[in-house]
Amino acid sequence: MQNKKIVFEDLGVMDYKACWDYQEKLFNEIISQKIANRDLPDEEKISTKNYLLFVEHPHVYTLGKSGDEKNLLVNENELKEKEASYYKINRGGDITYHGPGQLVAYPILDLDNFFTDIHKYLRLLEETIILTLKEYGIESGRSKGETGVWLDPESSDARKICAMGVRCSRWVTMHGWGFNVNSDLDYFKNIVPCGINNKAVTSVNKELGYGANMPEIKDKLKKNFSVLFDAQLI
């Protein structure tokens, strides 16, 4: 009874907390359905839903469960000056930045509909970005022991183009990736990104030397995501 259809929503620009609340709502609805299905005969079980949300956030810093607050390098007053907000949240990983020009994706999937392997899930999220970058002639890959997508990961010029952090409970996922498309990279100077202090960050427009076409990138990401997950976006 696997449901490989994924409801796609482009939320445009949305406040971080409002979007987090929306994620939690969808996440909890899926988990509630899974729990209800346990007590039902097979013919009465209801397939769980899956979602893929695209969004851009106003300037915000988020700190994961395992993160260190010392990796935020500005105080409350400086945050206000930069018109940025700050949240401690329930994903894995350390601190990251979201803002205009960065494409954030939140897959809220019941992995029982696909595969129950969180390592494979993270690798496929990374592969979605890697394949999309390749379509722009940008070679990218993985850095050993560090989740996300990097350019020249093994060199002294290693730079991160996409950060990732997820939460998974009862094989239902939330949170996801922050992909620097046309991001203002100066905002990364206010943190130690992902707690890694010896590597830089970059963006698609910095690598290409011109502003990237966000609608086009969204289409390519959706295509690559649906192929990798053998899913249908609806």
Tokens of 24: 């939690």
Mean pLDDT of each 10-residue bin along the chain, 234 residues long: 94 97 98 95 95 98 90 92 92 90 98 98 98 98 93 93 95 97 94 71 97 97 98 98
Cβ-in-10-Å burial (0-12, 13-18, 19+) of 25 comes to: exposed
Three-state secondary structure call for residue 234: coil
Q: Look up tokens 């929306």; give the residue.
A: 22
What is the reported pLDDT for 65?
Answer: 87
Q: Which residue has the tokens 């990736």?
A: 177
Write down the pLDDT at residue 198: 62
Tell me what pLDDT residue 197 has: 64
Domain layout of the chain by residue ranges: 5-229
Q: Write out the catalytic residue numbers.
A: 194
State the alpha helices, DSSP H only, in the chain.
16-38, 76-81, 118-134, 204-208, 214-228
Determine the pLDDT at residue 196: 59
**CATH fold for the domain made of 5-229:** BirA Bifunctional Protein; domain 2 (3.30.930)
pLDDT given for residue 195 in this prediction: 59
Which residues partner with 95 through β-bridges? 63
Q: Encoding tokens for residue 187?
A: 């905002």
